[in-house]
Chains A and B, each alone.
Chain A
Amino acid sequence: MFDFLEGYDVLGAFWTTVQLTVFSGVGSLVWGILLAGMRVSPVPLMRGFGTAYVNIVRNIPLTIIILFTSLGLADIFGVTMGSQDFKIQGFRLAVLGLIAYTAAFVCEAIRSGINTVPLGQAEAARAIGLSFSQTLRLIVLPQAFRAVIGPLANVLIALTKNTTVAAAIGVAEAATLMKTMIENEAQTVAIGAVFALGFVVLTLPTGLLLGWLGKRLAVKR
C-alpha cells in the first residue's frame, strides 16, 4: 500500500524540517527575548523599535518574508549568507526569514509573561539597587518564562509547520519532497496523509512535553 514511498528519502526530508525548526527556534527565542526586552525598556527609542518591528513583521505573510529573503535579499542586495550554493543559501535564508517572523510571536508571548509578574517584584528589585537589565534578567524574565511555556510551545509548533513555507525557495524539506512525490506518483491523498502524519509525529510530543513542563514550572500565585 505504501510502495509509493520507495525511492524517496522521506526521513531525510523530515530531518531537514527538524534542522530548520531547531535553528529557527533557537534564533527566534534569542531575538524574541531581545525584542521583548526592548518593548518593556524605559528607553522610548527602543520601545518604539520593538513595537514597530513586532507589528510590522507579524502582519506580513510568512511566504512573502521567505520569498523576499531569496528574491530580494539574495538577488538584489547580494546577501548570500556565506555560500554561493543555492542549497546551502536557501536553507540559511529560510532560517533567517523564519527567525525574523517567529521572533515577533515569541516576543509577544514573553511580554504577556512579563505582565503576569507583579509590579512589586520589579519595584523591590529597583529598591535594592538593581539596574533595568539586572531586574529583567534576574527577577522578571525567570518568572515570566515559567508562565509562558504553554504559549511558547504553541509558537514552536506553529514554527515547525511554518518551515514548509521554505519549499517556496527550494529548501529540501518535507513539503518540497511532498511536491516532488505528488508530481511523480499522482497519489495526492495517500502522500498528503503520510506527510500530515509526519508533522503530527514531530509536533505532538513537543506539545505534550512542553505542556507538562509548563504545568510543573508555573509560578503558583
Chain B
Amino acid sequence: MKLRKVTAASAVVLALAVSVTACGGDKKDDASGGGKKIKIGIKFDQPGLGLQEPDGSYSGFDVDVATYVAKQLGYQPNQIEWVQTKSADRENALQRGDVKFIAATYSITDERKEKVDFAGPYLLAHQDLLVKKGSDITKGTDLNKKKLCSVTGSTSAQNVKKTIAPDANLRPLSGYSECVAGLQSGAVDALTTDDSILAGFAAQDKYKGQFKLTGLKLSNENYGIGVKKGDSATVDKINKALEQMVSDKSWDKAVKDNFGPAQYKNERAPKIGDIVK
C-alpha cells in the first residue's frame, strides 16, 4: 500500500516535471532574436580561446567569435549566457538543446558531422609542438625518444602515436595546464596539440617568452561552430555573420588580440565551407 502511494506520487512528480520542462522548452524557442538570452557553448579552460577569468568574465578567440555571431543574430553581449561544453559533451549539449551553438575548438570531422551541423570553418589550426626556447626539436621525427605531453584521448595524442613519431615517449595527462607545467619544469620536452591552443598558453603572462611554437603544421584542424543537426537556418545565419566578421576586419583583430603575444603565425581566415583536409 505504502509502495503504491510512493509510485503514484512519483508518477505525479514526473508528469509535473515533464510538463514544466516542456513549457520551459517552448519559451526558449521563442527567444531567437528579441530581448532574451542566448546560450552559447565554449571551453572554460583554454587560454586564448575560451577561458573563464578569475573575475567571472570570459576571454579568448572563440569567445570573441561567438560574441560577434551572437550580435549578428540579435543578441547583445549582456544577453549571452556562456555554458561550459567539454569536448566529450559537445554533441549531447547540442542535441539536448542546452546551447544554441558551440564555439569551442570544435574541429569539423566526418564522424561529428553525422551528429551535428557545422557553420564555418572560422579558423584553420594545425597540430603543432610547443617547446622551450632554445630547444633542438625542429621536425616531427625529432620527437622519437623525446618526452612528449598531450591530453588523454585527444586527437593530437593519437596522431603522434600513429603517424608523427611512433617512438616518442608519450605522456598523456588530464589537461593541457598540467602539460605546460611539466614543460616549464623540464619533466617533458614538448607539448603537442592545436597551434591555436598552444599559442593561447604561450601568450599567458606567466609563461610569456619562455616557450616557442615550432610551426610544423602536423595536421589540419578546421574549427567550426557546432549547431544542432538539421537547424540549417541557424547555420546560414552564423555563416553570414562569420563572413561579415572577416570582411570588416573584426576577425583579424580578434586573432591579434588573443594570439598576438605568442608570435603565432595564423592562417588567413578560411572561406565558409572550405574544409582543408
A→B interface (CB under 8 Å): 67, 70-71, 74-76, 84-87, 90, 167-170, 176-189
Contact = CB atoms under 8 A, between A and B. Distances in A.
A70 B182 CA distance: 10
A55 to B, nearest CB: 27
Contacts of A87: 169-170
Q: Chain A interface secondary structure, helix, strand, loop or mixed?
A: helix
B115 to A, nearest CB: 5
20 contacts: A67-B174, A70-B173, A86-B170, A167-B152, A167-B174, A168-B152, A168-B174, A169-B173, A169-B174, A170-B172, A176-B153, A179-B152, A180-B158, A181-B153, A182-B153, A183-B155, A183-B158, A184-B155, A188-B89, A189-B92
A185 B87 CA distance: 12
B171 A86 contact: yes
B89 A168 contact: no
Contact of B111 (A84, A176, A178, A185): A185
A183 B169 contact: no
Contacts of B92: 188-189
A71 B171 CA distance: 11
Contacts of B55: none
A170 B178 CA distance: 12
Given A167-B174, A170-B172, A170-B173, A187 B115 contact: yes
A83 to B, nearest CB: 10
Contacts of A183: 87-88, 153-155, 158
B173 A168 contact: yes
Interface in B152-207: 152-155, 157-158, 169-174, 178, 181-182, 185, 187
Contacts of B87: 182-183
Given A75-B182, A180-B153, A186 B111 contact: yes
Contacts of B112: 186
Contact of B91 (A167, A184, A188): A188
Contact of A176 (B109, B172, B185): B172
Given A76-B185, A181-B153, 8 more contacts: A170-B171, A182-B88, A183-B87, A184-B158, A185-B111, A186-B111, A187-B91, A188-B92
A87 B155 CA distance: 18
A86 B155 contact: no
Contacts of B182: 71, 75
B23 to A, nearest CB: 26
Nearest to B185: A75
A179 B153 contact: yes
Contact of A186 (B91, B158, B170): B91
B256 interface: no
Nearest to A84: B169
Nearest to B178: A71
A104 to B, nearest CB: 23
A71 B89 CA distance: 27
B59 to A, nearest CB: 25
A90 B115 CA distance: 34
Contacts of A179: 88, 152-153
Nearest to A179: B153
Contacts of A188: 88-89, 91-92
